Amino acid sequence: MRLHVLVFAVLLFLVGCGDSPPVGRPSSDLDAISTIYRQGQPKAAIEKLHEYLKSKPNDEVAWTILGNAYQDLDQNEKAEAAYKKALEINANGFQAITSMGILLRKQGKYDEALAYYEKAVAINPRYAQAYSSMTVIALKQEKDTKALEYARKAYDLDKTDPVIVANLAVAYHYNGMAELRDKTTEEARRLGYTKIDKLEKIYSGELTIRD
């Protein structure tokens, strides 16, 4: 079960579907439901959230958690509807914006996903993982120069996240910068990145992140 927790691993076919929207601190009334969700019971959480929302229909956090739970179950239409409801309540809701971006990216709707990521970084300009996800989208769209711009921005904000560093290495690769690619790959290895073999297959042409 892929729970949407604070980890935001973004390079899908290198690290699996690990990128996840941030989950904010719920109200005290939502604590028990949030605990059920975090324990890996999205179906039970959905049932309780629907009951909760009958009395508190304007709780944007509850709608966002509901969307996350549906996304975990690959019920994408219901997840999108929940996020849209959260955004009707608060158009600048950071959690719902980020969650929607992730959902759209996973469905290959890259332009739409990118628009949501751009909203997220407009709200939080230091959101390094969002820039790293934008790197992957740009690479898939063969916008390599833009991908490198995003990757460097993510790295400038967070040099300790091995996925961010690995994505920068891939961006260097697709921009023909082999020396920087190899140096950055070693940096990702030192930080504990565990998919170095996949990176090497990309570099050799055996794998590609292009669609």
Orientation angle between helical segments 162-174 and 144-157, nearest 10 degrees = 150
Across 157-193, b (16+ Cβ under 10 Å) vs e yields bbeebbbbbbbbbbbbbbbeeeeebeebbebbbeeeb
Last residue of a domain, one of 124, 149, 183: 124
Are residues 193 and 90 both part of a single domain? no
Are residues 1 and 68 both part of a single domain? yes
Lowest pLDDT segment from 31-40, 66-75, 159-168: 31-40
Are residues 72 and 175 both part of a single domain? no
DSSP alpha helices (H): ranges in the chain? 12-15, 31-38, 42-55, 60-72, 76-89, 94-106, 110-123, 128-140, 144-157, 162-174, 178-190, 196-204
Are residues 19 and 110 both part of a single domain? yes
Are residues 51 and 93 both part of a single domain? yes
Q: Extract the tokens encoding 143.
A: 């916008």
Q: Which residue has the higher pLDDT, 208 or 4?
A: 208
| Number of domains forming the structure of the chain | 2
Q: How many CB atoms lie within 10 A of CB 39?
A: 11
Position 15 pLDDT exceeds 70: no
Last residue of a domain, one of 78, 98, 124: 124
Range of the domain at 198: 128-211
Are residues 76 and 102 both part of a single domain? yes
Which residues is 19 bridged to in the sheet? 8
Length of the chain (residues): 211
Are residues 145 and 158 both part of a single domain? yes
Are residues 17 and 108 both part of a single domain? yes
Domain harbouring 184, CATH code: 1.25.40.10
Are residues 114 and 64 both part of a single domain? yes
186-190's contacts with Cβ under 8 Å and 24+ in sequence apart are 188/162
Whether 99 and 70 have beta carbons less than 8 Å apart is answered as no
Are residues 163 and 187 both part of a single domain? yes
Are residues 134 and 119 both part of a single domain? no
For every residue of 78-137, DSSP letters joined together read HHHHHHHHHHHH-TT-HHHHHHHHHHHHHTT-HHHHHHHHHHHHHH-TT-HHHHHHHHHH
Last residue of a domain, one of 98, 124, 150: 124
Which residues is 8 bridged to in the sheet? 19
Encode pLDDT of 133-187 as tens digits.
999 999 999 999 999 999 999 999 999 999 999 999 999 999 999 999 999 999 9
Are residues 150 and 99 both part of a single domain? no
Lowest pLDDT segment from 4-18, 48-62, 105-119: 4-18
